[in-house]
Amino acid sequence: MKLSKLFTKTLREAPKDEESINAKLLIRGGFIFKNSAGIYTFLPLGWRVIEKLARIVREEINTIGGEELFMPALVEKKYWEATGRWDVEIGFEAKGKKEKNSAFVLGWSHEDILTSMAAKFISSYKDLPRAVYQIQTKFRNESRAKSGLLRGREFLMKDLYSFHESENDLFRYYDLVKRAYFRIFNRSGLEVIYTLAAGGVFTISDTHEFQALSSVGEDKIFVCSKCHYAENSEMSKLKDGDKCPKCGAEIQGKKSIEVGNIFPLGTKYSEAFDLKYSDKDGNQKHVVMGSYGIGISRLMGTIVEVHNDGMGILWPEDVAPFKVHLIVLDHRNQEADKIYEDLEKSGAEVLYDDRVEQSAGEKFADADLIGCPIRIVVSKKTLEKDSAEIKLRGQQKTGLVKLINLADKI
Ligand code: ATP
Ligand code: MG
């Protein structure tokens, strides 16, 4: 992609109404645009990051048997009434301009509508287990929408739902999801802590959250300094300095961001929608369910909160919008165009700063802000040596690489 053609431009200053680092850097870099409080557009650069995260999520969830589908955002009243969730205040109600009363809630979670559909397809133990998921926009009327992508009123979620014969089988799958989640977060460049959290009216036991440590997190967890056993402070009886109930080492209170969670739901939803199956002996039983969320846009915001410095973002390699940020100095020249084309041909994703009016300083600042993992500079000086200068984001050290070796080096 040539920067001279990119839809967006970087901003020197962060917008005054944003407080969070993720929003400031992502807006300045041209990744997102704030349309309203807690409502953002993913601009071309930002959408590339979302697509990379979504791809990782799809690969890992497909591996554990998840089948992707896509449910409506407008969810009709009858579905929410069956579970008593019509009045839950987190929702946005919707109605047609011509109608007087709301007939829909914009989906903020999809257990209700999905369970009603599953009742049409699942009737026997032979139809179990099943797991379906979607990556979709969720709508929540969050009052504290001040943390950029960490808490949107409209945001992207991966929601997975599983259906089982028994609680035993649910917990077998729960463990598979847990391991898939660790792989997703690791590939996204985040270390997460598996944290015990409170259950709710719809769960059969405690739930679990995946928490990324960060001083801007809204959550507080008590985590063992040695074995990383953790509990959410909302339900924990632990406190700073206590001994870990698992290994005896010291417990510490830490702020964190919840990037994902998993819920053993049990049969509350299957009871509400009469989702039953007949077991091997012909007995009718309610299907046992689980649900599993990852906030994909919150994940993007969390990555920025964790991986940044004074100058900009440091994208982990697998989620960076481009692998290489190629800069040409001393006005654009054909050699640099050729390097760009060759790198692209070799399969590298390259953002090419071919702009002619920007100074070297401005180009370097933009490369740091946008945060691609590898910076390559081509100038008169490097070309005299048939070379380009290469530098990793986050490191000071630069090196010269012969042009013929460049693609291999990348
Ligand atoms: P929180 O406790 O942060 O309010 P939650 O427990 O209500 O979130 P779920 O309803 O289970 O979250 O949603 C699943 C995932 O979606 C969360 O783990 C989080 O990563 C993400 N998420 C939830 N609310 C938001 C939001 N307002 N903006 C961005 N991501 C969100
Ligand atoms: Mg939560």
Give average pLDDT by consecutive 10-residue segment, the chain, 410 residues.
96 91 98 96 98 98 98 96 92 95 96 97 98 98 89 98 98 98 98 95 91 96 97 96 96 98 96 97 98 98 97 98 95 85 96 95 97 97 95 96 92
Give the C-alpha separation, 317 to 373, whole Å: 6
Question: What pLDDT sits at residue 332?
Answer: 65
* Cβ–Cβ under 8 Å, residues 202 and 192: no
Q: How far is the CA of 258 from the centre of ligand 2 (A)?
A: 7
Which protein residue has the closest C-alpha to ligand 1 atom 13? 293
Q: How far is the CA of 9 from the centre of ligand 2 (A)?
A: 35
Ligand 1 atom showing the smallest separation from residue 145 Cα: 27
Spell out the alpha helix ranges (H) of 64-110.
77-83
- Class of the CATH-defined domain 322-409: alpha beta
Q: Which residues does a 6 A CB cutoff place in the pocket of ligand 1?
A: 109, 140, 142, 151-152, 155, 157, 258-261, 293, 295, 297-298
Q: Which amino acid is at 93?
A: E
Pocket test for ligand 1, best of 136, 157, 219, 294 (most atoms within 8 A of CB): 157
Q: How far is the CA of 192 from the centre of ligand 1 (A)?
A: 15
Is beta strand 67-68 parallel, antiparallel or unpaired with respect to 39-42?
unpaired
- Written as six digits, the tokens of 83 are 């579970």
Q: Which amino acid is at 242?
A: D
Comparing 8-306 with 322-409, is the CATH topology the same? no
Q: What is the pTM of this model?
A: 0.97
- Written as six digits, the tokens of 120 are 């049409």
Question: What pLDDT sits at residue 143?
Answer: 87
Q: Which residues partner with 185 through β-bridges? A: none
| ∠ Cα 367 368 372 (to 5°) | 65
Question: What pLDDT sits at residue 178?
Answer: 98
Ligand 1 atom showing the smallest separation from residue 299 Cα: 20
Q: Which residues partner with 224 through β-bridges? A: 251
Give the C-alpha separation, 321 to 370, whole Å: 9
Question: Which residue from 155, 153, 163, 89 is spatially nearest to 125, judged by alpha carbons?
Answer: 163
What CATH number labels 8-306?
3.30.930.10
Q: How far is the CA of 282 from the centre of ligand 1 (A)?
A: 39
The full set of domain ranges for the chain reads 8-306, 322-409
Answer whether the bond into residue 264 is a cis peptide, omega within 30°.
no
Q: How far is the CA of 307 from the centre of ligand 2 (A)?
A: 23
Which protein residue has the closest C-alpha to ligand 1 atom 6? 261
Of the listed ligands, the closest to the CA of 259 is: 1
Of the listed ligands, the closest to the CA of 235 is: 2
Q: How far is the CA of 172 from the centre of ligand 1 (A)?
A: 24
Name 61's Cβ contacts closer than 8 Å, sequence gap at least 6: 68, 133, 158, 160, 180
